[in-house]
Structure 1
Amino acid sequence: MISETYGRWIDWAAGLITSVQPADGPPPRTLYPFIGWCLKGSWPVLLLATLISAFTGASEVLTMWLLGQAVDAAGGGFAAFWDSYAWLVVLSAVTLLILRPLFFGASATFQAVVISPSVFTLILSRLNRWTLGHAVTFFDNDFAGRLAQKQMQVARSLTETVVETVNAILFGIASVIGAAILIGAVNLWLLPILAVWFASYGVFLYFFLPVIRERSEARAAARAMVTGQVVDTITNIKTVKLFARAEHEDSAALGAMERFQETATNFGSVSSLFRIGLTFLAGILPLALVGTGIALGPTMGVSPGDIAAIGAVAIRLSQMTGWISFTLLAIYGHIGEVEDGMHTLTPPHTLVDAPDAGSLEVTTGEIVFDRVSFGYGRDVGGVDDISLTIKPGEKLGIVGASGAGKSTLLALLLRLYDPEEGEVRIDGQNIGLVTQESLRRAIGMVTQETAMFNRTARDNIIYGQPDATEDDLIAAAEKAEAHAFIQDLTDHKGRKGYEAFLGERGVKLSGGQRQRIALARAMIKDAPILVLDEATSALDSEVEAAIQSALERAMEGKTVIAIAHRLSTISDMDRIVVLDQGRIVEEGTHDELLSRRGLYARYWNRQSGGFTREAAE
């Protein structure tokens, strides 16, 4: 019965904060508004936890007052004590055996069950959602490990700040107020001593805490750089091994670690000085209060019981202010880490949906590039004044040398970037005026760099269509010539077939296997527009021939754009466009382009004739 009641209490407490509720608008870029953005929706529960913590602190002072009363009452002997002070025994028993356990238990529950798990999840979910909304360029310009570290850092540090504020600071404030009332009730001459001590304490904190916050922020930035460097190395470990650069990577990591050690030492030095000064201040208070109480003596109404209570309060305040100061030290350290993470994660989104953006409606699949230019903010690279119409159901091949603008054209279609000039339309709709989600749902894509999650083969394939049936899954895998090798998969935990994990970025598969899973993912999505960016580049000729018919079936009834360096893979396209230095220089069918003896014909002759001197000539 007791365990069931306790379980219901825990379940109720755990659900007080809805931990995945979305935030309102973008995160502010200044500290305290940012904290408010992170915690919005949890304030009523945090206020309740604060009140419980305050009552818990007040109960501490009550026990000290009871101690003083007991000392004074004990002078008349046990019999007289029991006759005159039975109420004191009852009140002490209620306070020590009922009130304090209830308050401390409730406070501990709010700290461990309500605030820590729920607030952490609330903050992390909001930061992660905002981070995912950044444009691709945001991720291109930073370490993946560093960004993940920053999210965890902010969520963990801000949660600890909330917990410590509720658990220690407000507990301490309530205790201090109660102690001041108790000391004033003993003798008002003791209050100025307490006031002067707290003023000195405040000045001490005023000078130290900003330094602690600044050095903590520097330490957090250095720690994140260590994580970013290490994760970057591990992510590219095969390249490190193949180029025998382990020593170089070790040196780079050691450099980041040395910078972290320097910032951590700076933080530790100010923390040590803080501890020394605080210990000295803590020793002054009991000496001053107890000494003054003894000096005042019974003539000023200070009884032995009062001195006992004052001594207990003074020692407790010394301990508590030390505890609170170290808590403040931790809080300011956490605030520094929150501020550091805030600067990294909260830049405004640079690629956003229009305020009145609707969903893209694809009826025929016509794609129009209307005088589109984009150069990544540089004078060279990208595309320049591209005008191109891809008819509904047309199969278009795009060829060109590296840097000619092929991938840029696809990135603009997918709205990974916005054109600097011109616009892209699908079925007459400017893609800049529809939601990015609806645009990308309408486009299936297989890239040269096949992206795999460290999840099961099943999860990686149905990523294109999460509600796909088992029959749909297997049919897509069979069309992509992936079903056979998937059935033979076994991961390090013994999971087999479609339940086997593929490893980070699909490292347990060959390049051809990864591309076949990517093809299956695109096939199961069955979007009206299909983009193939070197979709068969990692396949050998035999496997490519085996899935060519499957690709043709996947392209039926769709508008298709295919990029290929291996021209044989696009020779049967309805039309081929040749790009050079960001412009369209040729277009037509395979045979038409060969007959013109232009750039396409030169590419074709080189590939079909090999890189011999005769072919080059």
Structure 2
Amino acid sequence: MITVFILKLSLFAPALLLGAVIDNLSLDSSAESLTIPYLLCGYALVILVTAAVAPIQTYALTRLVQQTVKDRSISWIAEIFKKEFCVFNNLRIGHLIKATDRGITAHEQILNFFITVGLPLIIEILVVSILFVHFGGAQLFAALLTASCIYLYVCHRIIQWRTRHINDVNDVNDSEDEVSERLFSTLRAARSIKLEGAAEQMLSPLNLAFERYARCATTVASSAAALGSAKMLFIGLSTCGLLVWGVRNQGMTNPTLTIGELVALCSIAGGFLTNISGIAEAYRSAHQFMADKVKLQQTLSLPRFDGPDRSLEPPASPISSLELAACEVSGRHLTLDASLRFKSDESVAITGPSGAGKSTLLELLAGMDGAYRQYLSLNGICVERIRGASQLRALRYCPQSPVFLPGDLESGVMYGHAAGPEVLEQVQKLSLEALLSQLNLNDTASNLSGGQAKRLSLLRLLNRPGRFNLFDEPTASLDQELSMTTWDTLMDAFKGKGLICVTHDIEALARFDRVLVIQQGRIVADGPWHLLRREQGLLKGIAEIAER
């Protein structure tokens, strides 16, 4: 604050010193003329002070802005991680990234507007008003301030008018994100697309988005030209009024201003008008990011996974129970006609044709879908009332598609959790010793094969097992030998713990205490596999599963 005030004073000092030099040049007295060298030295000194203080002001204000943005960014990302799992659905992740990135940028721009533009301008208005009153130009300053307010209001109205078009452009950006994601996925299959002659059809949605964007951007550019015209009128007419006032003052019998003071005042007023037009431009830039800030706030306002109503701990019990009440999952092709109950000392397989609803059921059992968490109970307590962290410790879930971060085993695979000594034994059983000895995952883990990635992902639950451990296709991408080894490892590691696995591996079903068979979104069989396989009505479904 003090630095900004000193800088503003140093910016006005050259104009005042220049006016004093002009007045001294018009005097005949040699004594007065001797002061000119001192004034010129003062002028040079002020320039040096300004040059020294300006970087300090820029550093101080920028540091304040960036420190605030850093703190808010850390807070916002942490808050986003507390949201429901559905927020991180693959279909929405692109929008989430864009909303977060643009929202943080918007916050930075808005802070820049208020701190680096608004604060110095307030100080400048205070200093300029004092100078005008001192030189007898209080009425002139009031007129300039009124003209500035009118100009800023006109700019505000123009910016409000262009907001609709900016929102259109932002909508186009969102649609481009969707199209770009689709285009990226289709380019991975470019050879097949070219063979089918479908390139034109695949590019047409993106072309339409570009066309719409071009129309909206043209309108936005036109509004920018209107703002430029308003700026020219404001500065031009205000300067003209200032000159008229100065000419009239000098035409008086006893002018209240000397020529030097008039020059100084005109110079200060010119800088003031330029800064007023600068605040309009800064406001336009900040306002353009308001829509992005709103979208970020909408994301931050989404329900938390661990809300305030979730405060209970699951009761301790030698054998825990997990129950999913009857429900119908809309849009997910799954209907439970009766409740399902699981115990923590049994192993359960969920099998059925592709698209039957197996993965959906597993996600419900893991408590990942907030809309249906009310139907899930752990040891008689509704999971919706259990603390989120306690739920995730009790109900461990390994999704079908492995996801890693760049780095080694602890950072890239375990996400910062230390690998326990028992994991080393599991690593040997899963034939991962050679891989882990030189493991360094890249950004996309593309340096892993599908089988390696799958086995690595299993280590998370093997390292930190829960009361119930849920795996979605744990042997996907594995050959028969590795599949058998993996099943042996899981059965041994989770013996006496709840184990629930979705699988198409018919040969592995006999390993489980219990098998659920799902067909067309409904559970059609539930029991030991050696009994279920004898039922004639399941033969067709079993054949379909075996084909997978």
**TM tier relative to shorter chain:** 0.7 to 0.9
**Alignment partners' CA distance in 2, 1:509 and 1:139:** 24
5+ long unaligned stretches in structure 2? none
Q: Residue 531 of structure 1 aligns with which residue?
A: 470
What pairs with 1:101-112 in structure 2 (closer than 5 Å)? Answer: 101=51, 103-112=53-62
Deviation of residue 330 (structure 1)? 1.4
Q: Residue 269 of structure 1 aligns with which residue?
A: 222
How many equivalent residue pairs? Answer: 542
Deviation of residue 589 (structure 1)? 1.4
What pairs with 1:149-298 in structure 2 (closer than 5 Å)? Answer: 149-188=98-137, 190-191=140-141, 193-234=143-184, 237-239=187-189, 241-244=191-194, 247-297=200-250
Q: Residue 563 of structure 1 aligns with which residue?
A: 502
Q: Residue 128 of structure 1 aligns with which residue?
A: 77
Aligned: 1:367 with 2:330: no
**Alignment partners' CA distance in 2, 1:336 and 1:594:** 59
Match of 1:312 among 267, 280, 287: 267
**Contact between 1:145 and 1:232, CA under 8 Å: does it hold in 2?**
no
**Alignment partners' CA distance in 1, 2:94 and 2:191:** 20
* Structure 2 CA distance for partners of 1:368 and 1:316, relative to 1, 3 Å: closer
**Contact between 1:396 and 1:561, CA under 8 Å: does it hold in 2?**
yes
**Contact between 1:372 and 1:420, CA under 8 Å: does it hold in 2?**
no
**Alignment partners' CA distance in 2, 1:323 and 1:419:** 50
Aligned: 1:68 with 2:19: yes
What pairs with 1:592-607 in structure 2 (closer than 5 Å)? Answer: 592-599=531-538, 601-604=539-542
* Structure 2 CA distance for partners of 1:420 and 1:166, relative to 1, 3 Å: closer
**Alignment partners' CA distance in 2, 1:88 and 1:353:** 68
The residue type paired with residue 31 of structure 2 is: A
* Structure 2 CA distance for partners of 1:337 and 1:586, relative to 1, 3 Å: closer
Deviation of residue 77 (structure 1)? 6.6
Q: Residue 467 of structure 1 aligns with which residue?
A: 418
Deviation of residue 275 (structure 1)? 0.8
* Structure 2 CA distance for partners of 1:224 and 1:420, relative to 1, 3 Å: closer
* Structure 2 CA distance for partners of 1:196 and 1:315, relative to 1, 3 Å: same
**Contact between 1:460 and 1:517, CA under 8 Å: does it hold in 2?**
no
What pairs with 1:326-475 in structure 2 (closer than 5 Å)? Answer: 326-343=281-298, 345-349=299-303, 351-360=305-314, 363-376=317-330, 381-418=333-370, 423-456=375-408, 458-463=410-415, 466-468=417-419, 474-475=424-425
Q: Residue 499 of structure 1 aligns with which residue?
A: 440
**Contact between 2:366 and 2:396, CA under 8 Å: does it hold in 1?**
no
Q: Residue 22 of structure 1 aligns with which residue?
A: none
TM-score, normalised to structure 1, is: 0.78
Q: Residue 7 of structure 2 aligns with which residue?
A: 56
TM-score, normalised to structure 2, is: 0.87
**Contact between 1:367 and 1:390, CA under 8 Å: does it hold in 2?**
yes
Write the deviation string for residues 592-613 of structure 1: whole angstroms up to 9, x where unpaired.
Answer: 22333332x44445666x79xx
**Contact between 2:24 and 2:33, CA under 8 Å: does it hold in 1?**
no
Deviates more, 1:363-372 or 1:318-327: 363-372
Query: What SS does the corresponding residue of 1:532 show, helix, strand or coil?
Result: strand
**Alignment partners' CA distance in 2, 1:365 and 1:259:** 61
Deviates more, 1:333-342 or 1:558-567: 333-342
Higher relative contact order (CA 8 A, sep 6+): 2
**Alignment partners' CA distance in 1, 2:21 and 2:361:** 85
Q: Residue 526 of structure 2 aligns with which residue?
A: 587
**Alignment partners' CA distance in 2, 1:268 and 1:337:** 19
Query: What SS does the corresponding residue of 1:565 show, helix, strand or coil?
Result: coil
Q: Residue 477 of structure 1 aligns with which residue?
A: 427
Query: What SS does the corresponding residue of 1:369 show, helix, strand or coil?
Result: strand
**Alignment partners' CA distance in 1, 2:458 and 2:373:** 33
**Alignment partners' CA distance in 2, 1:539 and 1:199:** 71
* Structure 2 CA distance for partners of 1:479 and 1:110, relative to 1, 3 Å: farther
Q: Residue 113 of structure 1 aligns with which residue?
A: 63
Deviation of residue 559 (structure 1)? 1.0
The residue type paired with residue 60 of structure 1 is: L
Deviation of residue 282 (structure 1)? 1.0
Deviation of residue 573 (structure 1)? 0.9
Query: What SS does the corresponding residue of 2:534 show, helix, strand or coil?
Result: helix
5+ long unaligned stretches in structure 1? 1-47, 488-496, 612-617
Deviation of residue 303 (structure 1)? 0.8
Deviation of residue 420 (structure 1)? 5.1
Write the deviation string for residues 370-408 of structure 1: whole angstroms up to 9, x where unpaired.
Answer: 5331323x5x83232432322231111222334544323
* Structure 2 CA distance for partners of 1:143 and 1:486, relative to 1, 3 Å: same
**Alignment partners' CA distance in 1, 2:71 and 2:212:** 32
Query: What SS does the corresponding residue of 1:122 show, helix, strand or coil?
Result: helix
Query: What SS does the corresponding residue of 1:353 show, helix, strand or coil?
Result: coil
Percent of paired sites with the same residue: 18
* Structure 2 CA distance for partners of 1:534 and 1:455, relative to 1, 3 Å: same
Aligned: 1:573 with 2:512: yes
**Alignment partners' CA distance in 1, 2:293 and 2:319:** 47
**Alignment partners' CA distance in 2, 1:551 and 1:543:** 12
**Alignment partners' CA distance in 2, 1:309 and 1:190:** 15
**Contact between 1:382 and 1:582, CA under 8 Å: does it hold in 2?**
yes
Query: What SS does the corresponding residue of 1:383 show, helix, strand or coil?
Result: strand
The residue type paired with residue 303 of structure 2 is: H
Deviation of residue 65 (structure 1)? 2.9
**Contact between 1:393 and 1:558, CA under 8 Å: does it hold in 2?**
yes
Write the deviation string for residues 418-439 of structure 1: whole angstroms up to 9, x where unpaired.
Answer: 4659732223332111122221
Query: What SS does the corresponding residue of 1:337 show, helix, strand or coil?
Result: helix
Deviation of residue 354 (structure 1)? 4.8
